[in-house]
Amino acid sequence: MKIGIEAQRIFRKKKHGMDMVALELIRNLQSIDTENEYLIFVKPDVDDTVIKESANFRIVKLRGGYYPFWEQISLPRAAKKAGCQLLHCTSNTAPIFTSIPLVVTLHDIIYMESSYFKILKGTGSLYQKFGNVYRKMFVPKIVKKSKKIITVSHFEKNRIGQFFGIEGDNRLTAVYNGVSEYFKPITHKTELLRVKAKYNLPDNFFFFLGNTDPKKNTKGTLKSFSDYIKQTGSDYKLVMLDYDLSELEKLLAEIGDKALIDRIVLTGYVVNTDLPSIYCQCEVFLYPSLRESFGIPMLEAMACGVPVITSNTSSMPEIAGNAALIIDPFKPEQITYALIQITNDQALKKQLIERGLQQSAKFSWKAMAKDVLEIYKQIDISTSK
């Protein structure tokens, strides 16, 4: 079978969640499947050595302008020309005018949920808002058209089934994401010091992967950290990744603690392979999102031996199991209390670390790739033209 995989963004320098999932899928399919022929459709960019061609894996670089044009025009034309018998689109959307049987990975349908956006009305970047409009227009059509719909948790599978009225439809399958093997406890001092110097990490800090996406609960996290400092007088700092300073200052003004800026370290973009050394040097990993379809960073932190605080909403309890402190993300005081618990109770901290190592070991990219390969085998490719 000739299988096309859409992986438009995996060559860009600053990769994010869905990019990493697509990249790990391709890498692991490449290691387990020598029978099928694969064409990986990407957009040319600077980081073009993250995957390499092999006997049955060929990279097809497609230009084609802005994302909708690339996906709706360039991709289906190239896939048809290449003779693909199946096309797997990995990032929530897909071309709607193609005769090639489609598999789509629908990571979530947050952009379809009006209740979520009523809570967060007016927030999010212009890029995020445009992306939501695009997905709201195309995803309902893609759900009807796809031969198989893969999502990443049973929570999300239920949400998709309920929203589109396809509960019990055998086209819809939950396949868990994994944890990359380099996420593990780092003990090599030279590596830890290298990463500490590269990103200007403080000695004592909590780690938070906040961004401007409303679901990440950045404002609530900042409020809880502010309250933690006020209540404990601690010298801990908060390390955040690629976050805009002016946006951060606005949020601090909104929570009434502009001085907290002195307690926050903004690292800029972090290369994925540097993340383990950051996790391993933090006291607690904060993941109090309002809504997630899976939550890979939770498992990454657990695999590195770090206690995790996460939310009681959406998929997070499913993925975290009993290996994290679970809080209500709409109540910052609960996040504050969880921080106090972990920093004051070494027995609790040790228990969370042990449980986290056990929980994260249940998830692997190879298992995910094997499940996806089985889904490919179930598809009738006789309709491909």
- Write out the residue range of the structural domain in which residue 336 sits: 189-360
- Predicted confidence band at 383 (pLDDT cuts at 50, 70, 90)? low
Residues 337 and 254 in one domain: yes
Look up the CATH number of the domain holding residue 240. Answer: 3.40.50.2000
On the question of pLDDT at 339 being above 80, the answer is: yes
Note the pLDDT tens digit of each residue in 33-53.
999 999 999 999 999 999 999
Has residue 184 been placed in a domain?
Answer: no
Q: Rounded to the nearest 5 degrees, what angle is found at the Cα of 43, between the Cα atoms of 42 and 47?
A: 90
Instruction: Average the pLDDT over 92-107 and give the result.
Output: 96
Number of domains in the chain: 2
Has residue 183 been placed in a domain?
Answer: no
Q: What is the pLDDT of residue 114?
A: 63
Residues 233 and 312 in one domain: yes
Note the pLDDT tens digit of each residue in 286-318.
999 999 999 999 999 999 999 999 999 999 999
Scanning the structure block, which residue is given the tokens 């997070």? 316
Integer angstrom CA distances of residue 203 from 197, 223, 262: 11, 22, 14
Has residue 206 been placed in a domain?
Answer: yes
Read off the pTM: 0.92
CB atoms within 10 A of CB 153: 23
Q: What is the pLDDT of residue 124?
A: 52
Residues 284 and 373 in one domain: no
Give the whole-angstrom CA distance, residue 112 versus residue 143: 13
Residues 262 and 144 in one domain: no
Complete DSSP assignment for 204-224: SEEEE---SSGGG-HHHHHHH
Closest listed residue to residue 179, CA positions, set 29, 319, 291: 319
Residues 103 and 128 in one domain: yes
Task: Give the H/E segment covering residue 226.
Answer: helix 218-232
- Residue 290 makes CB contacts below 8 A (sequence gap 6+) with 116, 119, 120, 214, 215, 216, 217, 311, 313, 329, 330
On the question of pLDDT at 116 being above 80, the answer is: no
Which range (106-115, 222-231, 267-276, 301-310) has the least confidence?
106-115
Q: What is the pLDDT of residue 4?
A: 98
Residues 174 and 254 in one domain: no
